[in-house]
Amino acid sequence: QKEVEQNSGPLSVPEGAIASLNCTYSDRGSQSFFWYRQYSGKSPELIMSIYSNGDKEDGRFTAQLNKASQYVSLLIRDSQPSDSATYLCAVIGLYNQGGKLIFGQGTELSVKP
């Protein structure tokens, strides 16, 4: 079982729709959760972080965390073609004292005009 799992996609949504990206993790004690966006050939860029159960909103982005279900998601409202990218879920585990990120494989999102 992979430590962090994501659907690889591609996920295709029309412009203006809500894109929903999902991630599950295996380490029940994981404490920090991140969503990175990576455009093709570019570096990963942090867009959201979440540390406690519930929702966290930042502009058009909402991260949702459910530690009991070991599940974290990212919602993108009013999706734009510029949101087309690969979205990486990353987790810091319970016994990780150094902050190393454990990544999922990434979900490719395509927003069609």
Partner 1 sequence: EAGVTQFPSHSVIEKGQTVTLRCDPISGHDNLYWYRRVMGKEIKFLLHFVKESKQDESGMPNNRFLAERTGGTYSTLKVQPAELEDSGVYFCASSPWTRVFTDTQYFGPGTRLTVL
Query: Footprint of partner 1 on this chain (CB under 8 A)?
Result: 2, 4, 31-32, 36, 42-46, 49, 51, 88, 92, 97-106
For residue 4, the minimal CB distance to partner 1 (Å) is 7
Distance separating alpha carbons of residues 53 and 102, to the nearest angstrom: 19
Which residue, 83, 111, 99, 88, is CA-closest to 23?
88
Note whether 66 and 72 are within 8 A (CB).
Answer: yes
For partner 1, the closer of residues 106 and 111 by Cβ is: 106
For residue 17, the minimal CB distance to partner 1 (Å) is 27
For partner 1, the closer of residues 47 and 76 by Cβ is: 47
Note whether 71 and 30 are within 8 A (CB).
Answer: no
The token duo for 100 is 């190393």
For partner 1, the closer of residues 61 and 103 by Cβ is: 103
